[in-house]
Amino acid sequence: MRIDYLDADPAVGAVLWRQSDEVVRAQWLDIVLHHPGAYLAHRFDVFRWVFLTPKIDSCLPLFVGVDGPADTLTKLQIAPGKDASDRALYNYGTWFLDGPLFSHLSYAVTAVLVAGALLLRRDRADIAIIALMVAALAFTASFFAISIACDYRYLYFLDLAAMTGLLYLALDPPIAQVRRLLRR
């Protein structure tokens, strides 16, 4: 589910890339207009893979070492590869794969809670962070339409935005507003 390897097959790839834009467009329109249930089910399944990462090991959550286009590495005089510290770092990172640190869902919930807390506080200075949370959630939702694979890095923006919002709240917690709400 990581990526579509259909074009890697020499026979299929040769035929696939010879199709005109009109033929491809007509096929997509036919699926969307005449089989919307199947299309939406497919989009939901692909989004589930990128957002919920049910088999996170298949979604490249971690990368260590040095790699890249050979000509670029040569120009930069950088040797590709992994050393012992890279492998140790990878091993350490794998301990967190099945928990909330590598869960876009946990970051989405965090973003919603941060935005909610800031909306309750009603401080004009919070508008930028609220906008950041909304933008991160909207960006994530856009992957319902555009995602093609479950590469974990696609939604890093959500993760980083939620962490930023949490840090913002930790530096200036809405304690007074929470106390007022609890007294009501």
Domain coordinates of the chain in residue numbers? Answer: 6-183
Q: What does the pLDDT look like over 120-160, one tens digit per residue? A: 888 999 999 999 999 999 999 999 999 988 889 999 999 99
d(CA 149, CA 154) in angstroms, rounded, equals 9
Contact between 133 and 115 under an 8 Å Cβ cutoff? The reply is: yes
Q: What is the pLDDT of residue 122?
A: 85
Q: What contacts 137, CB < 8 A, 6 or more positions away? A: 108, 111, 112, 158
Q: What is the pLDDT of residue 81?
A: 94
Q: What is the pLDDT of residue 44?
A: 96
Q: With a cut of 70, which residues of the chain have pLDDT below it?
A: 1-6, 178
Contact between 66 and 83 under an 8 Å Cβ cutoff? The reply is: no
Residue type for position 60: L
Contact between 126 and 159 under an 8 Å Cβ cutoff? The reply is: no
Residue type for position 92: Y
Distances (CA, A) of 126 to 10, 17, 79, 164: 54, 49, 46, 12
Residue with tokens 């876009």: 104
Q: What is the pLDDT of residue 3?
A: 53
Would you give the end-to-end CA distance of the chain in angstroms? 50
Q: What is the pLDDT of residue 93?
A: 93
- Element spanning 115, H or E: helix 104-121
